[in-house]
Amino acid sequence: MFSLPSFVLSRQFILLTLLVLVLDQLTKSWALSALFVTGQQIVVTPFFNLTPVWNSGISFGLLADFPSVTGLGIPVFALLVVAWLYLQLSQLEAVQRFGAGFIAGGALGNVIDRLRFDRVIDFIDLHLLGYHWPAFNIADSAIFIGVVAWLYGIMSAPKSEGDTHA
């Protein structure tokens, strides 16, 4: 059964979510004006570029050929995940709450892009020794960090006496 989280947990979650969301939207706003208007790529280091990429799919461009899924389905799913994370706060370990705020902020950042542009703004471009990672953004990074924190919280949680699962 769901119980609403305490005021302190709610406030921490909302502040972390907003921090990630604002950072994501500010960097995307910069990328739109500095990269997307001109189609310019900025080479920062031999392995790091800032490259304008419109992503109409989800991670790695998956489902790009299914606009009905990515246009409405993904944003609705993301909003449901954010609501579920909020309702779970009181049952989570501290590191999982941290992860939940990062996941929520990243999810909302990409939802805003989908609502504004029907696609997501990606611009962080990493490559090394012939290997090239698909372009991503701050929201994607936050979701990744949040999932890692969430999983760490699950794996490092103390086991109860009757728990026989590894």
The residues carrying an active-site annotation are 122, 140
Q: Which residues contact 113 (CB under 8 A, 6 or more apart)?
A: 28, 119, 120, 121, 139
The strand pairing partners of 126, in sequence order, are 48
Residue found by looking up tokens 């950072």 in the block = 23
Residue found by looking up tokens 């929201």 in the block = 139
Contact criterion met (CB below 8 Å) for 56 and 119: yes
Cβ burial of 52 (10 Å; 0-12, 13-18, 19+) is buried
Contact criterion met (CB below 8 Å) for 102 and 150: no
How far from chain centre, in Å, is Cα 163? Answer: 32
Contact criterion met (CB below 8 Å) for 97 and 12: yes
The type of residue at 82 is: V
